Amino acid sequence: MEHLQEHEASLEQTQRYCVQRPIYNEELLQGQLHRRERTPQTLRQKIAHSCRCSSKKAKSHLYSCIPILKWLPRYPVKEYLLGDIISGISTGVMQLPQGLAYALLAAVPPVFGLYSSFYPVFLYTFFGTSKHISIGTFAVISMMVGGVAVREVPDEMIPVGYNSTNVTDSLDFDARDTKRVQVAVTLAFLSGIIQLCLGLLRFGFVAIYLTEPLVRGFTTAAAVHVFTSQLKYLLGIKTSRYSGPLSVVYSIAAVLSKITTTNIAALIVGLTCIVLLLIGKEINLRFKKKLPVPIPMEIIVVIIGTGVSAGMNLSESYRVDVVGNIPQGLRAPAVPDIQLIPAIFVDAIAIAIVGFSMAVSMAKIFALKHGYAIDGNQELIALGICNFVGSFFQSFSITCSMSRSLVQESTGGKTQIAGALSSIMVLLVIVAIGYLFEPLPQTVLAAIVMVNLKGMFKQFGDIAHFWRTSKIELAIWVVAFVASLFLGLDYGLLTAVAFAMITVIYRTQSPQYRILGQIPDTDIYCDVEEYEEVKEYPGIKIFQANASLYFANSESYTSALKKKTGVDPCAVLAARRKAQKRHGREIKKANANDVEASVKHEIANDELPVNGRFAEASVQDMSPDEQERFVEPKPNIHSLILDFTPVNFVDSVGAKTLKSIIKEYKEVGVRVCIASCSAPVMNELTRLSFFDNTVTREWLFHSIHDAVLASLVQLGLASGKVSQEPGVVGEDVLFPQDSPATRDRKLSASEITA
């Protein structure tokens, strides 16, 4: 522990970084180290290990599958129950209006929103691992469900300009709604199965592809979709509902074309509700600390709306659309319509993944805040069970709602008990007083939906934020937004995920190429263009690309190397060949010439032109006189160090590129070293049979500084020039003019060209 002691000695005065060790290339380093012998587990051992069975293991397995078994027996009633009850009531009071409102989005009658706010919420209590998220209807998912329902059962099947004030009066509408419910329910069934399968297969990681900018762009687009779909309810206009690509444009156009038929009474009620809800939100935000429980403005608005509507008979006097028939009690379970599956499979995948990623991202935020762990795969299984089982009881796809979850957590909810209580509140409404909400105007629900979009619309601010922080993430946001807005949420999401992956390729494919130089008196090498202090050793070029070397960037790596170092072996070889040919002709022409002179000439040719490009152009454009000038000695490089610090993997194309670089530069007398090649990359290179008798591990150095020192040593031993001219910088030629090694190299190069 030479270091530690050294370091302690100087501890009080200065903290210095002191290292003294041999110059390590990989050959030397590997020779000094002893590889730890690892007996890898055989497949049989692995299987035996994973199949080993014990009661403890079974118990922990059971606990992880049904988490309630673990936490309920230990439930501290005194401490938690009050908080859970308050939180449960507050959340339940939100579940009600949101369930009714989001059912409109899902294109199903409102009562199905209530079913969706009961069954899955109750089930989650048993299987969920997050203590604070509120499962249930959610705008984005409901919108996606609605899009599919409308696509499969379009409005065109019934007359559009229908004039009745009460929609459900018509048998046609009933038939349509029944079919749409079937679609929505089958979608929940299928997305539940998909989530369940993904969870059982431990595929929870798929959500990682939904990066934050993508999700935010996507949800912003969803908010626009939701907003446009609610406009007609707010204005009391009757238009058909659109789905698929450009549905937003069609929806807005349809609303605008019928803007003259606006129902003033509905609009007034709707706008009043919006104002009330916004005031309520503002108060809840401002007096967050003073209020014991946030004001449940949504349920207040619903109650007032229902009262006003019933009192003034809005439905019949003013032809305001109301919620209409809410059947009392629950429905008997029914099997979803399996035949619909092929048509909605892709949508189900999209809903399953979006639903999961919403829930798990929210769950993670709370878990982090309250210091407990959630299990992504178990969450997936829980959501899957909620959707799957719920679908038998006519509920549509659900996930976690952000607004409700925030309320559940902030009102003191401690465990899943709060969620269970909120679902029981919804149940009570369904079985007891649901019919009371029949006169509720739809415009009130539209107002609730729209005000809940406020947070999502705020995400437009992301554009400015990502513009400042990262253009690539801005691009992901914009692509996710635009694609989801115009292609529809399903294809939009797919496009956005594909685009996000392409950005990763792009990042690895177009790296920054830099020439490094030393900060004097240190082992630190930086970009020469960045700092004034950075100096290059004469004759040594250090090249770095901040990416791995593989098929998509190996070509640009080579060309950047030639451009940045200013040495293109092809051009140099071409120039040299030209000169040799001329030399041959000269010998033929004038045999009387001195032999010594021609040898001198050949040596001169060995000097490389600084700029390969220039050399190439000049050789072919110049007269012989000019060529004479061209072959004059010029400052040049003898060593090229490729910094492999940022290289994390190499494929066969990369290895071949590397090998041809080494070969090409060797032909023109430049020694190529590789510095800081990590162990995994070295293993990959070995497997790709990169090392042979021409390229050995001696060309690999532990660090750039090792490689530089080794180059200097090699040079010093060969010509002794370093010691004669210490400290020379920049313009000096340190190229060994006629050492035996280079002489050999030169001969072999000319042999190749012969």
DSSP alpha helix (H) spans, 136-263:
139-152, 171-200, 212-235, 247-257
Binding marks (x or -) toward a second copy, 467..506, rule CB under 8 A? Answer: -xxx-xx--------------------------xxx-xx-
66 scored as a contact of a second copy (CB under 8 A)? no
2 scored as a contact of a second copy (CB under 8 A)? yes
**Going by C-beta distance under 8 Å and a sequence separation of 6 or more, which residues neighbour residue 599?**
none
Binding marks (x or -) toward a second copy, 524..563, rule CB under 8 A? Answer: x-xx-xxxxx------------xxx-xxxxxxx-------
Angle between helices 212-235 and 442-452 (to 10 degrees): 160
DSSP alpha helix (H) spans, 554-703:
554-565, 569-589, 595-605, 612-621, 624-630, 652-667, 679-687
Q: Which stretch binds a second copy (CB under 8 A): 3-11, 184-192, 229-237, 338-346?
A: 3-11
The footprint of a second copy on residues 598-637 (CB under 8 A) is 616, 620
What does the block give as tokens for 703?
């660090």
The footprint of a second copy on residues 371-390 (CB under 8 A) is 371-373
For a second copy, the closer CB: 164 or 512 = 512
Distance of CA 34 to the CA centre of its chain: 40
Alpha carbon distances (Å) from 106 to 100, 140, 341, 670: 10, 10, 18, 69
For a second copy, the closer CB: 314 or 619 = 619
The footprint of a second copy on residues 164-183 (CB under 8 A) is none
For a second copy, the closer CB: 161 or 727 = 727
The footprint of a second copy on residues 450-469 (CB under 8 A) is 466, 468-469
**Member of 34, 78, 290, 588 binding a second copy (CB under 8 A):** 34
Q: Which stretch binds a second copy (CB under 8 A): 84-92, 322-330, 484-492, 674-682?
A: 674-682
**Member of 156, 521, 594, 751 binding a second copy (CB under 8 A):** 521
For a second copy, the closer CB: 59 or 286 = 59
585 scored as a contact of a second copy (CB under 8 A)? no
Shortest distance, position 404 Cβ to a second copy, whole Å:
24
Contact 732, 635 (CB under 8 A): yes
Rounded-to-10 torsion of CA 62, 65, 70, 76: -160
d(CA 479, CA 221): 10
What does the block give as tokens for 390?
């719920």
246 scored as a contact of a second copy (CB under 8 A)? no
Contact 531, 519 (CB under 8 A): yes
Shortest distance, position 703 Cβ to a second copy, whole Å:
8
Residue type, 342: P
The footprint of a second copy on residues 188-207 (CB under 8 A) is 205
Q: Which stretch binds a second copy (CB under 8 A): 229-237, 243-251, 365-373, 384-392?
A: 365-373
512 scored as a contact of a second copy (CB under 8 A)? yes
**Going by C-beta distance under 8 Å and a sequence separation of 6 or more, which residues neighbour residue 711?**
537, 540, 638, 639, 641, 671, 673
The footprint of a second copy on residues 684-723 (CB under 8 A) is 684, 687-689, 702, 705-706, 709-710, 712-713, 716-717, 722-723
589 scored as a contact of a second copy (CB under 8 A)? no
What does the block give as tokens for 39?
């007996």
CA gyration radius, the chain: 37
Binding marks (x or -) toward a second copy, 4..23, rule CB under 8 A? Answer: xx-xx--x--xxxxxxxxxx
d(CA 705, CA 542): 10
Binding marks (x or -) toward a second copy, 208..237, rule CB under 8 A? Answer: xx-xxx------------------------
Q: Is the dihedral of CA 120, 123, 128, 131 positive or negative?
A: positive
Contact 407, 208 (CB under 8 A): no
Shortest distance, position 523 Cβ to a second copy, whole Å:
5
